[in-house]
Amino acid sequence: MALALEIPLPVNALTQNQQTSLALLIEHAAAGDTAAFEQIMIHSQQRVMAMTWRMLGNEADARDASQEVFLRVYKYLGRFKQDRDFFAWLYGITMNVCRDSLKKRQHHTETFMSLSVDDSQEAQAVPSEQNDAVQVLIQAQRRELITRAMATLPYKERASIVLRDVEGLSTEEVARIMKSSATTVRSQVSSARKKIRDYCLRVARASRP
């Protein structure tokens, strides 16, 4: 079974034709065309799922949150202005849904990480070579490490670092999505990077014999 890795594309990666077709789909969907809306979902489901997974840390919560994101997108699509960046607008809705989801959790640090090395799909895959198995294991361990590091971050720092370092948005774009200032975003990103680095160091020193 092949291993599929999602590589998030930067926001401006769409070609001109793709942007035109997306604009048409948005126009039809805003008028009530559910077939057009389904096409929009197909275009953006991976981004939304990846974002919600990174923010919430487990697939079940990510699926529920993604569903809620698309329901809100359909509800507010009529208010979307075509001169804005659709995916930046989508990220804003995703962040709001994730924030609401995190607030509902009573013990989010306990439920944040339900993915372990044994339960991961990568671990259950049958590698064709031993090197592949080692790589898969390393990858899963790295994912677990960074997932736990992210769990130590408060919501705003987590959102800022995901949008800035993972999605590749600029500081100004992140500030617009988070409804904040560029200075605040820079401060949150700096704090988040420091905490992640400190966590990784702590784990590395703890694992040394």
Partner 1 sequence: MSCKQIQELLPLYVGRDLEEKRERLVATHLEVCAACAAEANEYRESRQLLQEFAPPAVSEAVYANMRREVLRDIASSGPTFAETIANLFRPRLAWAMATVALIAFALFGVYLLRSGQPEPNQTVKGLVPTNQTVPYERRAAQPATPPSGSEPDHTARNQPRARRIYRNVIKERMGVVAMNVVKSSTLDRSVSPTAENPLSPPDEGKIMRVEMQTQDPNIRIIWFSQQNSKPITNSKGT
- Interface positions with partner 1 (CB under 8 A): 3-7, 34, 37-38, 41-42, 45-46, 49-50, 53-54, 59, 62-63, 66-67, 70-71, 74-75, 78, 115, 120-122, 142-143, 145-147, 149-150, 161, 164-166, 171, 186, 189-191, 193-194, 196-197, 200-201
Burial (CB count within 10 angstroms: exposed 0-12, middle 13-18, buried 19+), residue 80: middle
Distance CA 141, CA 65 (A): 25
What count of other Cβ atoms lies within 10 Å of the Cβ of residue 90? 23
The nearer residue to partner 1, 43 or 108, going by C-beta atoms, is 43
Q: Write the DSSP assignment of 105-164 as a string of letters.
A: -SSHHHHS----TTTSHHHHS--SSHHHHHHHHHHHHHHHHHHHHHHTS-HHHHHHHIII
> Minimum CB separation from partner 1 for residue 23, in Å?
19
> Minimum CB separation from partner 1 for residue 121, in Å?
5
The nearer residue to partner 1, 111 or 171, going by C-beta atoms, is 171
The nearer residue to partner 1, 137 or 146, going by C-beta atoms, is 146
Report residue 91 as tokens.
């990220």
The nearer residue to partner 1, 86 or 199, going by C-beta atoms, is 199
> Minimum CB separation from partner 1 for residue 91, in Å?
16
> Minimum CB separation from partner 1 for residue 181, in Å?
14
> Minimum CB separation from partner 1 for residue 196, in Å?
5
Report residue 61 as tokens.
């919560």
Angle (nearest 5°) at CA 151 between 98 and 140? 105
